[in-house]
Structure 1
């Protein structure tokens, strides 16, 4: 049986979602609730990740994540994943510095959006994910435009994500604010779909909340991990 490793804690709420979803997906795939995947979680500090990014210290971030992946390798896992979008800002560097196969949340999301045949999608996430190019470039490379909110809305989304959602706090007024931003992106930017580019955002935004197709990066990533586990 394959053994999967997760770099977790980025944040804790989504790590719990990964753990539970991998188990349920694995059981569904094998058709039994009497089986469990072999899974190791290395939970690190999301605030340290944010500090590295705030300081523009990509080498420090890369080294921090590389150490976490290497610790998973030492535990005997066969492949691993970083269970958050924002740390993928240094995914390529970590991938080069480690021997363990890593499954990228960005690459898997690109595959899903391509299968939906959309040309223009919106992206919300932390300000690091929205402002930097690591998430957008793989889409551009295959001819898909990725649109992010204006700078003011980016700041608001980031603050609510870090202060509330990362701590498991879900507020109706925050949901209404997010949906207003998404509606503006539909009307003004012509987005055809929406990428929930933070693994906590599905706590707030549900598929029935928008008329356009949503791409839940947590669910997409988990699906790829379960597929790998059950080969």
Structure 2
């Protein structure tokens, strides 16, 4: 939920809307930005319930303001989707379902996944993929920890070192070596590294989420 990932979502949402519907046809949207530091502190002390409650409160604000659906612009925050869904009556567009749709469209059934250690350990996104018949391959723990440190220490702060990029490339190669047909970037900051050369296709999780949400809105309309 760093503001950088929210900015990426906002830009991509409107660029994709104009690409689909024409110049100046941006999407009407409402954004609630939560201060990131208190959420990180709560997660670090193990108080995920407090984080879930705050996210659900923000979702309720969006519904009250007239939103027709809700997106959480953070993969890690998807551990709170059940609490959020209980707090609102409008749809929550799940990023795991969005990635599953991309995998189905590309006929992929064995996909590597990179993200924060919390996203990988919580199993929410991998579970949504599994429910759609798609196996999610995760990096080995030590490598996952290094990727997590790169995300938290660099990308959420708007920077990227050559070492950090090397860690990302190593993780992608590792998953490809285990048989991944593609690697899903299950983190809203990881697409900030793109474009990037790799031996298997990279699935931009933000792009997938935005496209899935726009399609859902268009069907509803």
Same fold (TM over 0.5): yes
Q: Give the Cα–Cα distance (whole angstroms) in 2 for the partners of residues 38 and 119 of structure 1.
A: 35
Q: Deviations over 1:78-100 (max 9, x none)?
A: 22211110000111221122222
What are the ranges of 5 or more consecutive residues in structure 1 without an aligned counterpart? 1-9
Q: Give the Cα–Cα distance (whole angstroms) in 1 for the partners of residues 39 and 205 of structure 2.
A: 19
| Higher-helix-fraction structure | 2
What are the ranges of 5 or more consecutive residues in structure 2 without an aligned counterpart? none
- The match for 2:209 is 221
Structure-2 change in CA distance of 1:36 and 1:115 (3 Å): closer
Q: Find the partner of 1:131 among 121, 137, 158.
A: 121
**Alpha-carbon offset, residue 26 of structure 1:** 1.4
- The match for 2:197 is 209
Aligned residues: 219
Q: Find the partner of 1:38 among 28, 48, 51.
A: 28
Q: Find the partner of 1:153 among 130, 139, 143.
A: 143
Structure-2 change in CA distance of 1:119 and 1:228 (3 Å): closer
Between 1:109-118 and 1:155-164, the stretch displaced more is 109-118
Alignment of 1:179 onto 2:178: no
**Alpha-carbon offset, residue 205 of structure 1:** 4.0
Q: Find the partner of 1:194 among 170, 177, 183.
A: 183
For the 8 Å contact 1:140–1:146, the answer to whether it is kept is yes
- The match for 2:38 is 48
Compare relative contact order (CA 8 Å, sep 6+) and give the higher one, 1 or 2: 1
Over aligned residues, Cα RMSD in angstroms?
1.7
Please list, as runs of the form range in 1=range in 2, the aligned pairs for 1:161-172 lying within 5 A after superposition: 161-172=151-162
| SS of 1:79 mapped into structure 2 | coil
Q: Deviations over 1:123-144 (max 9, x none)?
A: 1111111222111112222332
Q: Give the Cα–Cα distance (whole angstroms) in 1 for the partners of residues 69 and 170 of structure 2.
A: 39
- The match for 1:3 is none
| SS of 1:82 mapped into structure 2 | coil
Q: Find the partner of 2:11 among 17, 20, 37.
A: 20
For the 8 Å contact 2:146–2:167, the answer to whether it is kept is no
Tell me the TM-score normalised to structure 1 length. Answer: 0.88
For the 8 Å contact 2:99–2:129, the answer to whether it is kept is no
